[in-house]
Every structure is written in C-alpha cells, then in structure tokens.
A and B are shown apart, each in its own frame.
Chain A
Amino acid sequence: MSEQKSSPVTQAPVQGLSLWMMARRRFLRNKAAMFSLFVLIAVAVFSFGGTWVYPHAYDQIFDSYVAIPPSLEPYPKEDTLHQVMQDAAEHGHVSLADFSVTGSTYTAKVTSDKAIDPRVTRYLDRPDEFDGAAIKETLDGGNSAIVTGTVNRQYFPFGTDRNGRDLMPRIMVGGQVSITVGILATLVSLVIGVVYGAVSGYIGGRTDNVMMRFVEILYSLPFMFFVIMLVVFFGRHFVLIFVAIGAIQWLDMARIVRGQTLSLKRREFVEAAHAMGLSNWQIIKRHVIPNTIGPVVVFVTVLVPQVILLESFLSFLGLGVQEPMTSWGTLIAEGTTGMQFVPWLLIYPSIFFVVTLFALNFVGDGLRDALDPKDR
C-alpha cells in the first residue's frame, strides 16, 4: 500500500479474482436479482419487524369491526359515532341530549329523569370506540351530566377478517411462519440430503446401490400422499410441519450431492487424506461436503420457494399451523371461501405471497447465473 502511495504513476497490479468475488460481482450487476433481493428484504422486515411496531396483535378481535373493507380512514367512522354513543347511553338507561367530537376527545351530555349514577360512565366506555369516560360536571341537580372521554381511532389499512381481526398483522405473522418454515425446512432437507448423498457417493458399491434404490422408491410414491401422511402422523405442530416437509424434499439434494461426490472421491486431495489415515467420516466431513457447496447453494435457492409453496399448499388443504396462528397459505384459503363478500381477504395475502415467490425465483436465477462457472 505504501509503495502505491509513493508512486501514484504506476498502475496497481491486476488483482486476481476469486470465484466468490466474481460471483458476487456478477450478482450485483444483475438488476432483476438485486431488485428482487431488495423486495425480499422489505418483505422480511415487514413481516418480522412489523409486529413489533404495529399497534394491533394478530389475534386481537375487534367486535365492532367485523369484515370491514380496507381503507386509510380511521374507524369508527365520524358519522357513526353519534349512533354508537346513543346506543351506549341507552344501555346505561340514560338518554343522550348532546354529543360532539373535537379531535380525539368527545363531550356528551346525558340526561335522565332520576339522578345520574356516576357509574354510568362504565356503560359509555366501549371496547372499540370510546375510552376513559369521566363525568366533568353535573347539571340540573344531578339529573344530567357532561361526560368527556377519548375516541379510540383504529386504522385498518388492509381491512379485517370475518372474526374482526386486523388483516395486516395477520399477514405479518403469516409471513413469519411461511418464511421461517421455508428456511428451516430447507435446512432440514439440506442436512439430510447432503449427508445422505455424500455418504452414498463416497462409500459407493453395494451401499450406494441400496441407498439410491431407496431414494428411487421414495420418488415413485405419490408425493402428496407422502406429505399428507407425514403431517397426519406428526400432527399439526409448527416444528413438525417443517420437519415433515424437509424430510421429503431431500431426495433431489441427495442425488445432486452424490453425483458431485462420485467425481470428488477420485481426486488427489481425497486420496492424500486417505493416505494420512483419516477415517471415512472425517474425509466426508472435511473434504467432500465443503467441495459440493456450489451446486448445493444454487439448489437451495430453488428449494426455498418450493418449500414455501408446499407449506402454503398444506395450509390451503387445512393441514397447516393451527388457529389463531396463521400462514400465507391459510390466509389465502380463508380468503377463498368468502371471496364474493370479502375479496380483500384473498387479494392482500395473495399479493404478498406472489411477490415473495417472484422475488425468490429471480434471486435464485441470479445466483445460478452468478455461480455458473461456464458463464464468464
């Protein structure tokens, strides 16, 4: 470095590029993949960060706002407030004489033919609309009172579902479940597939034959049957769902790794390791598996969207996580059943789901192009 500084005229020596640096450069140049990566990060931040910031919980039920369409206006609507307060007053056996709202506080005048019991305020507090009612002053010798309190304004930008739960945090939690299952199930299949494939390929011979024959048999089983059976067997638990999915997605991975291993085990460094007296397992762990990483990384990026799709499909069939937990597939399935009346329940989860899958596919394609050693 110091030499370069002292003689700025001479060109810096041409730096050799490692395979990974070249791959990274190529990936950074791929606009579609970079944009998709950005979208993915945004979706992940929305899903995982959103629940911390957003005021409503995913299982919080708003009885007054069942199946309201998405809007940027706050609820309750201004023109309904008077009616709600009137109903509340009637409930408390007083009548509403005057009602006005300024900002987030309201002032109401209630009258009765008897003296007003101060406990009437508890009737005026509504779980969803009004809060903190307090008698400000009493008039007419106690027969009427001025009550003030706050108006609870709630925003439902994505609307609510048919149980009165805000759709937005549900999409966030659904995203958490879908993304987590996608990643964890991929990891499960990665571990099983890589170890199985490497062992089978490295040991070879009869063991290889038997192990690959087993994989072929699993291939010939109807795929959905296998998944459904595993989910039925394991029960509908979050952890078990991704184990079940991972346990069937490893077949392709095992084949890819086996193919790589077959060519790797003839290489000199493996022979050298053998000559140094390393055990088979040590060689597999230290020399074979790390060298299969390229194709495995590419396959993993293809696998994640597949797993998310599969999880959502299971949820669509009603085999996914249990209420009130949710996932994108569950939300889409719920949206499907009532799309005539509450179409936003179908549209919003679908948008998130499809955008994520699109982005994942583009990132996967970008990674494949970037890591492909033939394409320089």
Chain B
Amino acid sequence: MFRFAFRRFLSAVPTLFIVVTLSFFMMRIAPGGPFHLERPLPPQVFENLNRAFFLDQPLIVQYGHYLWNLMHGDFGPSFIYRDFTVAELIGNSLPYSMTLGFWALLIGVGGGVFVGSLAALKQNSLIDYMVMSVANIGITVPNFVFAPLMSLVFAVVLGWLPAGGWDDGGFRNLVLPVISLALPQFAVFARITRGSMIETLRADHIRTARAYGLPSRTIVIVHALRAALMPVISYLGPTAAGVLTGSVVVETVFSLPGVGRYFVLGALNRDYTLVMGTVVLISIFIIVFNLIVDLLYAVLDPRVRYE
C-alpha cells in the first residue's frame, strides 16, 4: 500500500508539469500584462518594471526561470501585491479557506450521506421527498444566488448574523459562508448516496445478512453503507480539493480573506505568478485527494488490493 502511494505520487509529477506548462503559456498568450494599466506608466518605469520581473526576456527563458524556481519551492513575487511573495499571499489566506472548506465539507458530506441514506431507507416517503426537494434546490440554485439571498435574509432583514467579515472566525461569522458553501455539496452527496444506497439494499449480500437475522441497524451501518459509499468516495476527491482551496463567490459575497479570490483577481490583473501559484496549489490538492480516494477504496472494498 505504501509503495502504491509512493508510485502514484511520482506519477503525479508529469501531470503537474503539463498543467504548469499549459497554464504558463496560455496566460502569456493572452493580451495585456501586469503593468498595462488603464493609465499607462511612463515608458521608463514600464521598462524598468519589466526588467525587474524578467518580463523583457524571451518567453522560453522566463519559463525555464519559473520552472527552476518552482522546483526549489519558490513561487516568485507577486506582480500586483508588490510587498508580498506569492507563497506569503497563499500561506496567509489558505488557512481561512481551509477552515471554511473543512466545515463545509463536514456538513456537506456527513449531512449529505446521512440524509441520503435516510431517504433511501424510507424510499417514497415524506422524508424522501423532502430530502430530494432540498437536493434539487441545492443543485439548481447556484452559489452566487444562494449566498447573497442568505445574507439578505439572515443578516440584513433579520439581523441575526453578521453579513460578512472574518473577525475572530467565530461561529456567528462562519455560519452563513459555511452553509452557502456546503449546500451544493450536501445536495450532490445526498443524491449520490440515495441512489447507490437503494441499489445496495437490493444486493445479494444484504439479503443474506437479513436472512441471518442481523439487526437492521447493523445491516445498514456495517454492510450497506460501506458498499454504498463507493461512488460517494470517488466524487469526494475533486470536491474536497475544490472546496478546501476556496470559493470565489462565497469569499466575495461574505468578504472573507480566503485564497479563492486571488485566482480571479490574479487572472484579471495578469498577476502571472499569483495565478500560477494558485493553479499549482489547486492541482496539488486535486492530486493528493485523488490519492487519498484511491487508498480509501482499498479500505472500504476488500476486493481492491494495491501491490
């Protein structure tokens, strides 16, 4: 298992390399640059800035330069936030995004799986319909509609919770952003769990377990849930990576200092290094979580063996 994990980790290196290369050149092909401002800089300043950030060199030289630094763990300086390196910017904001993402993931996945199983056990009951309606809403209503509406109702009209900001990251500040972030995940996981649970409950091994006269709680928790979780797990990887690396919408609506908005801000301002930094970060998260998912498969399904 350890050897498998190591091999998988190594095989991620070329993927990461391709992603970095593609992103690097795609961004450079786009017109404009970090110092093409609306009010043009004096040509002397412009040239000096370009020289300072190696932008006057041929593209391929810049690419080699960036790759070399990246391999040494140096993400370079930010072009727009001049006083910070990209590593500092990401390092400062990632904890916020991860805290938010952790709770959202916990509620989304935990709640979704629980509610989905409940709906599957009581198929076509009132609970089932209620769960599926909430899931439908969660899937159709996008974040950028749901988050402002939540803020409007609970912060502006009712005044129960703050409309935004982090403060001390207490419960009151976290409730709205976490719920906004969790709802779509909750909906998706509830649907997946319900579907696979219904299928699993009809499976042979469950029938056998029933025939043995096992208590239904044991059947559901030990035998059915374990098999029903397989499709949930495969969806978990990319979702976890996406949620933990921050959401542009939730961070913008609730004005939180997370890492998600750097992505969009960086791309709009042509902050090349910042965008590259976030791209690498997201890719690493995706790779790591896919690896975790593969390992979880082996834990959940005894038929899966990694040698």
Which A residues form the contact surface with B (CB < 8 A)?
A: 217, 220-222, 224-226, 228-229, 232-233, 305, 309, 312-313, 316-319, 329, 332-333, 335-336, 339-340, 343, 346-347, 350, 353-354, 357-358, 361
Contacts and interface: CB of A to CB of B under 8 A. Distances in A.
B175 interface: no
Taking residues whose C-beta sits less than 8 angstroms from the other chain, chain B's interface range is 35 or more
A357 to B, nearest CB: 5
B15 to A, nearest CB: 6
Given A313-B144, A357-B141, A233 B29 contact: yes
B140 interface: yes
Contacts of B279: 221-222, 225
B136 interface: yes
Chain B CB within 10 Å, residue with most, of A232, A318, A361 = A232
Main SS at interface, chain A: helix
A32 B189 CA distance: 23
A305 B136 CA distance: 13
A35 to B, nearest CB: 14
The 10 nearest A-B residue pairs measured at CB? A336-B148, A233-B30, A228-B267, A316-B144, A357-B140, A222-B282, A339-B152, A350-B145, A232-B30, A358-B140
Contacts of A318: 268
A226 B19 CA distance: 11
Contacts of B283: 220, 222
Given A217-B22, A220-B15, 10 more contacts: A220-B286, A222-B282, A224-B264, A225-B278, A313-B144, A319-B268, A336-B144, A336-B253, A350-B148, A357-B142
Contacts of B248: 224, 317
A98 B278 CA distance: 69
B10 interface: no
Chain A CB within 10 Å, residue with most, of B26, B145, B253 = B145
B75 to A, nearest CB: 16
Nearest to A354: B141
A311 to B, nearest CB: 11
Contacts of B148: 332, 335-336, 339, 346, 350
Nearest to B286: A220
Contacts of A346: 148-149, 152
B275 interface: yes
Nearest to B26: A229
Chain B CB within 10 Å, residue with most, of A317, A346, A347 = A317
B145 A353 contact: yes
A229 B30 contact: yes
Contacts of B26: 226, 229, 233
A332 B148 CA distance: 9
B215 interface: no
B87 interface: no
A232 B268 contact: yes
Contacts of A312: 142, 144
Contacts of A305: 140
B144 A358 contact: no
A246 B253 CA distance: 27
B31 A233 contact: yes
Interface in B115-170: 136, 139-142, 144-145, 148-149, 151-152, 156
A222 to B, nearest CB: 5
Contacts of A336: 144, 148, 253
Contacts of B31: 233
Contacts of A224: 248, 263-264
Interface in B276-307: 278-279, 282-283, 286
A199 to B, nearest CB: 22
B89 interface: no
Contacts of B27: 229
Given A225-B275, A232-B268, A316 B30 contact: no
